[in-house]
Homo-oligomer: A and B are copies of this chain.
């Protein structure tokens, strides 16, 4: 056997343990993300999460002190994915194209069943999220970037100037929990790609004839 593998330097020992913890934490968050997308916060049980990860429920509470914290971690993860996607976009593209790309990305995540959705009514959950710095900072950064594109797109005439930028931003965010893709998917008449194209078209072009 390779001694480099069986006898790593002492410094990697703690690093290894830390990495295991990190890996398990990631696994937990991924599981929560999926369950949150599948059943929503209220119907997701902590037991399910532990079962899916394959660890004891008590171990969950070593990482996250409440069910709300679990959900918050999943939201922070998605925010991070969104930030990574935004950063991967070519900086010199047309602003309207950037906005469309973001909307498409959210719809793809949703239709793949990987978009966690929290009930907007649950106040304890909202309070928890609103005191989560990582979530708020990420959301703010995304909103700033998209806000810039929205203003640029209105300035270059591609986006309607009669809709306030905040309304545009919220309308795009709302694609993350749009029920229409799910309805269409259940209908079975369209492929996922067609569904996304249709929803994007109705969102940007409207229902009326152009």
Which B residues are in CB contact (< 8 Å) with A187?
166
B-binding segment of A74-82, A86-94, A118-126: A118-126
**In the bound complex, how far is the Cα of B195 from the Cα of A163, in angstroms?**
11
Determine if B184 and A180 form an interchain contact, defined as CB atoms under 8 angstroms apart: no
Contact A205:B202 (CB < 8 A) given known A42-B42, A174-B180, A189-B166:
no
Q: Which of A88-131 contact B (CB under 8 A)?
A: 96, 99, 119-122
Cβ of A178 under 8 Å from chain B? yes
Contact of A180 among B43, B96, B158, B170 (CB under 8 A): B170
Once the chains bind, are A206 and B209 in contact (CB under 8 Å)?
Answer: no
The reply to whether the CB of A204 lies closer than 8 angstroms to some CB of chain B is yes
* Residue pair B179, A179 in contact (C-beta under 8 Å): no
Whether the pair A167, B179 counts as a contact (CB closer than 8 A) is: no
> For the complex, is A133 an interface residue (Cβ under 8 Å from B)?
no
A198 within 8 A of B: yes
Decide if A164 is an interface residue (CB 8 Å cutoff): yes
Near B by CB (< 8 A), chain A positions 159-204 give 159-164, 166-168, 170-171, 173-174, 177-180, 182-184, 187, 189, 198-199, 201-204
What are 15 A-to-B residue pairs whose CB atoms are below 8 Å? A38-B121, A42-B43, A43-B119, A159-B208, A159-B209, A160-B207, A160-B210, A163-B198, A164-B189, A168-B202, A171-B180, A177-B179, A202-B203, A206-B206, A206-B210
